[in-house]
Amino acid sequence: MAKRKAKEESPKGMLECIIDAMEDKKAERIVIMDLSEIESRIADQFIVCSGSSGIQVEAIAENVERKLKETAGLRPFHREGYENAEWILLDYFDVIVHVFNETARDFYEIEKLWADAVINYHD
């Protein structure tokens, strides 16, 4: 798996920055999924949250991108989903951010798809 991290930003610091950015835009149901012990993983961590509208989903994702760029100089390797803002994915190699609207999140049930991950619900 390819790895790229800012020297000054620890994985824990990166996760905290992402969660802060989500909370700034009133994201709901924030979940940290640790996939690091799964052999066939595509990343070490997923951070998942929900927004109540396409506008909020987009605002959350944009704020995550902005804060990671400002604090750690990180830009996503890949991003998709801004066109319809139902499910925006930001790929930072080891950490993948998923921002869903409620309907898409309930439909895809990402926590069930990766049920063997260690799941931490953020309050």
- Tally of residues, the chain: 123
Quick one: pLDDT at residue 87? Answer: 98
Element (H, E) at 20: helix 11-24
pLDDT tens digits for 80-97?
A: 999 999 999 999 999 999
Q: In angstroms, what CA-CA distances link 98 with 8, 58, 64, 111?
A: 24, 11, 11, 11
Please tell me the predicted confidence (pLDDT) of residue 11. 67
At the topology level, CATH places domain 11-121 in: Beta Polymerase; domain 2 (3.30.460)
pTM over 0.95: no
Q: How far apart are alpha carbons 110 and 70 in whole angstroms?
A: 29
3-state secondary structure 53-118: CHHHHHHHHHHHHHHHHHHHCCCCCEEECCCCCCEEEEEECCEEEEEEEHHHHHHHCHHHHCCCCE
pLDDT at 3: 41
Q: Quick one: tokens of 42?
A: 């595509």
pLDDT digit string, tens, across residues 1-51: 334 443 345 567 899 999 999 999 999 999 999 999 998 889 999 999 999
